[in-house]
Amino acid sequence: MTPSHDPALIYTFCQEVEQQVNVLNEGLLALEHEPDPKAIESLMRAAHSVKGAARMLELQPVVDLAHQMESCFVCLQIDLQNQATPVDSTDLDRLFEGVDWLDNLHRIHPDQVLPWLETQEEVLEALHIRLQELFLALGGDAVTQSSALSTRSPSSLRATPETTDTLTPVDRAVRVSADNLHRIIGLAGESLVDANWLQPFADALGLVKLQQQELSRTLERLEWELTQTGPIAPQLKALLQSARRQEQECYDRFDERLGELELYVRRSLNLSDRLYREVIHAHMRPFSDGIEGFPRMVRDLSRELNKQIRFEVLGKATAVDRDILHKLEAPLTHILRNAVDHGIEPVEERLTQNKPPYGTVRMEALHRGGMLVITISDDGRGIDLEKLRQTVQDRGLVSPQIASQLSESELLDFLFLPGFSTASQVTEVSGRGVGLDVAKTIAQQVGGRVQVTTQNGQGTRFHFQLPLTLSVVRALLVQIGGETYAFPLARVDQIVQVNPQDIYQVEGRPFFTKDDQNIGLIPAHLVLDLPPAPIGSEVLAVVVIQENGRSYGLVVEQFLGEEDLVVRPLDPRLGRIRDVSAVALLRDGSPVLIIDGVELVRSIDQHLRSNQALTVTLQAQSYLERPCILVVDDSPTVRATESRLLEQHQYQVHQAANGVEAWEALLHHTYQLVITDVDMPGMNGLELVRQIRNHPRFQTLPVIMVSYRDRAEDRQMGLEAGANFYLTKSSFQDDTLVQAVEELLKHTSALASLP
C-alpha cells in the first residue's frame, strides 16, 4: 500500500468529496432556475478541487470524471456568456449523474474505496459517454477543451484550500463519537448542578457568620453583667479580653474567607454555565446539514412526475440537535414525497384553477418558545376531508354515525395510523400507507408532536414541535403527591387555573371548558398511584395535554415554574418505571422524574376504562383557611428554611425568587403577609417594599424584611421603606421570626374587625 492509499488519507478525501457534492448539487439546482454564468464558478471550483485531491491520492478514475465534469462546466459558462438562455434540464441530468457517482464514492468505507473503484469500470464508461455527448452538444471538442482550460483565469483553477478559505471560512472539524459527546454533556450538566450547590453552601456559612456576631454580643453582655457586680478579678478580665480577641480574629478570618468563597461561587457559576452552553452547542448542527439531499430529491421527483415545483427552505442556519436531525430524515422525506406526489397538482390542473404553473413546497425551521418548530407546507390541492371520512368509515375504523360527527382535526389524526392511506393507487413514490405513522412515532420518541392542517384547494401544512435538544429538555415543574415532577413542555398543550365553580359533571366525570373545548379533569396523583396532598390554593392547577385529538386536564397541587433539565437515563437496575421516561437533577441537586407524556395518556385511558372514581375536590379545606405568606429571597436554601419554619406553624407559604416575581404574585394572589430579603437581583427588597406601599391595595399589607445586614443604618432604611419589622437571618434559629409573624397577623386581624 502506497502512502497515498492510506485509509486515513482516503477518509479525509471522502469527507472533502462529501462537501463538494453538496456544492455541486446546490449549484446545479440554482443554475436550473437562474442561468447565471457567475454561478458556474463554484461548480468549476468544486470539480477542480475533487480532481486535485484525487490526483494526490492517485485515484485516476475520479480524476478523469472530475476533469470531464469541469470541462462541461467551462463550456456551459462560455455558452451562457454568449447567450443567457435557460439551461436544459436534460443536460443537467447528465451532470447530476456524475454528482451521484461522487456521492456514492464518499459513502464507501475507506478500506473499500480501491476495490469499489475496480468494479466501476462499466459504470464510468457509460457516464463518460454521456458527459462527452453533453460536452460536444455545448460546442466543445478536444481542441476547445484544451484551450478553454488553459486560457481560464488562474483563480478559477485553484484548488479549494487556496480559495474557499477567503470566501467561506470553515472551522476545522474533528470526529467525536456520539457516546463520548453524550458523556461530556452529562458531566457538564453535573458541573452546573454542583456549581449551583455552592450558593446555598455560602448562604449557610453566612448564617454561621451571623451566629458568630451573636457570640460577640454575648461576650459583651457577659462582660457588662460582670462589671455590674463589682470589680472584675484581673485573671477573669484577662480571660475575657483573650476570648474577645480570639473571637474577633476568628470573625475577621472567617469574613475574609467567606468573601473569597462568594467570589469563587460567582466565578464557578459563570464558568460552569459557559462550559455547559458550549458543550450543548457542540451537539447542535445547522438545519441545512440534515436536508442537503432534499432539494435534489424534490427536483428529481417533480421531473419524474412531470410537475413544476419550486422548493424553498427557510431557517437553514437554525441550530438542531444532531440526534434529532438524524431521526427527522425519514419522516421529512416521506412528507416531502407525499407533497410532490399527492399535494402539488399537474401543470394543466393548476392552470385551470388560476394557480401559477409551478407549485411551491416550503420547509421552515425556527426556534419558538424554547422549542424547535419545523413546518412543511405546499400550495397544492389539499386533503379531501370527505374522501378521508369515507375511507375511515369503509375501513371499519369507526361507525358511520361517528364518522359523520368527526371534526377536521379528528379526521386528520387518522392519517397517522400505520398502513392508512387515501391514495387510489400505489406508486413507487407514495401510496403504501407508510410514512406519516413514522413521522408521529419519531416525534413522540424525541418528546415532541406533529400536527397537520389543510385547506381544500389551497394546500397542506405539517407542523412539528420538538425539543431543541435531547440532552436538555425545557420542562414544567409541578408538585404531585407532595413530590416534584417534570413535564416536557413539548408535551404540554397549556397550563390553566380552574375555579371550582367552573367544574361540571358529565356522566360522573368532572369537566371544565377552555376555548370552547370540553376538557376532562384527572387527578394526577391517582394516575401515578401517589398519595393525595392538600391543594394550597383557591383554584385548581391544571396541566392540559393533548393526544389523538383528545384533551386531558391533569390536576396537580401547584406549578413550580420552568427549568432546563439535563436528561439522564434511568438506572437499568430500576427496571421499567411506568409513566416515567428519564430523570434529571434540579439546580439544588435534588432528583426529579420526567414524565413520559405518551405513556401517561395510556394510563389515563386505562383509568377511564376501569371506571375508577376520579373525583376532583379542593382537599383539606381548612388548609386554605390558614393565612398565606409570600416568602421572597433569591437563595433557594433561605426560601426553603423560611418556608419549612412557617409551614411547621400551620401557615400556607408561596415563594418568589426576586422582587419582580413577588410583585407578579401579589397582583394575582391574596396574601396576608410578605417576608422579603433585601439584596436580590432585578428588584431588590427595598424597591419591592416601596412599590407595595405605593399601591392602594397593599398599603396595609404587613411586611417583614429579613437580611444578613445588621447595621443600624440598614435597619433604618428598611423601616423607612415601609417594612413593619426588620430582622436578621439569625432569627431563623429562635422564635423571633414566628413571633413577628404572629404579632403582625394578629394586629392586622384586629384592625380588620374594627367597624
Look at residue 162 in the predicted model and tell me its pLDDT. 36
Angle ∠(294,310,364) on CA atoms, nearest 5: 60
Which is more confidently placed, 67 or 539? 67
Distance between CA atoms of 319 and 372, rounded to whole angstroms? 9
pLDDT in tens, 516-535: 788 888 888 888 888 776 66
CA dihedral (171, 172, 178, 179) positive or negative: negative
Collapsed DSSP state (helix, strand, coil) of residue 399: coil
**Sole residue written with cell 391574596:** 670
Q: What is the mean pLDDT of residues 324-342?
A: 88
Look at residue 222 in the predicted model and tell me its pLDDT. 84
Q: What is the mean pLDDT of residues 141-169?
A: 40
Greatest CA separation for the chain? 123
Look at residue 379 in the predicted model and tell me its pLDDT. 93
Look at residue 85 in the predicted model and tell me its pLDDT. 60
Look at residue 589 in the predicted model and tell me its pLDDT. 67
Q: What is the mean pLDDT of residues 413-420?
A: 81
Residue 707, strand partner residues? 728
Crossing angle (nearest 10°) for helices 659-668 and 685-694: 30
Fold of the 308-467 domain? Heat Shock Protein 90 (3.30.565)
pLDDT at residue 707 tops 50: yes
Which is more confidently placed, 155 or 695? 695
Look at residue 157 in the predicted model and tell me its pLDDT. 35
Q: What is the mean pLDDT of residues 391-406?
A: 85
User: What length does the chain have?
Assistant: 755
Distance between CA atoms of 590 and 605, rounded to whole angstroms? 31
Collapsed DSSP state (helix, strand, coil) of residue 264: helix
pLDDT at residue 432 tops 60: no
- Alpha helices of 107-177 — where are they, by DSSP H? 113-118, 121-137, 142-151, 154-157, 160-167
pLDDT at residue 129 tops 50: yes
Candidates 2.40.50.180, 3.30.70.270, 3.65.10.10, 1.20.1440.120; correct CATH number of 472-619?
2.40.50.180
Q: What is the mean pLDDT of residues 458-479?
A: 85
> For 52-56, 173-177, 181-185, which range has the lowest pLDDT when averaged over its residues?
173-177
Look at residue 159 in the predicted model and tell me its pLDDT. 37
Look at residue 482 in the predicted model and tell me its pLDDT. 80
Cα Rg, the chain, nearest whole Å: 35
Look at residue 486 in the predicted model and tell me its pLDDT. 93
Look at residue 534 in the predicted model and tell me its pLDDT. 63
Which is more confidently placed, 493 or 574? 493
Q: Are 583 and 570 in contact (CB under 8 A)?
A: yes
Fold of the 626-753 domain? Rossmann fold (3.40.50)
pLDDT at residue 39 tops 90: no
CA dihedral (128, 46, 15, 92) positive or negative: negative
Q: What is the mean pLDDT of residues 78-92?
A: 73
pLDDT at residue 217 tops 50: yes
pLDDT at residue 373 tops 60: yes
pLDDT in tens, 221-261: 888 888 887 788 888 888 888 888 888 888 888 888 888 88
> For 84-98, 363-377, 425-439, which range has the lowest pLDDT when averaged over its residues?
425-439
Which of 104, 158, 101, 155 has its CA nearest to residue 126? 101
User: How many other C-beta atoms can be found within 10 angstroms of the C-beta atom of residue 400?
Assistant: 10
Domain ranges of the chain: 3-167, 181-282, 308-467, 472-619, 626-753
Bridge pairing between strands 509-514 and 517-523: antiparallel
Look at residue 730 in the predicted model and tell me its pLDDT. 62
For the chain, the average pLDDT equals 80
Would you place residue 428 in the very low, low, confident or very high pLDDT band (cuts 50, 70, 90)?
Answer: low
Percent share of the chain, pLDDT over 90: 11
Q: What is the mean pLDDT of residues 173-178?
A: 67
pLDDT at residue 153 tops 50: no
Look at residue 733 in the predicted model and tell me its pLDDT. 55
Percent share of the chain, pLDDT over 70: 86
Q: What is the mean pLDDT of residues 403-425?
A: 78
pLDDT at residue 78 tops 50: yes
Q: Are 127 and 98 in contact (CB under 8 A)?
A: yes
Look at residue 564 in the predicted model and tell me its pLDDT. 78
> For 177-181, 323-327, 413-417, 657-661, which range has the lowest pLDDT when averaged over its residues?
177-181
> For 12-16, 317-321, 462-466, 670-674, which range has the lowest pLDDT when averaged over its residues?
12-16
Angle ∠(673,677,681) on CA atoms, nearest 5: 125
Domain 3-167 has CATH 1.20.120.160: yes
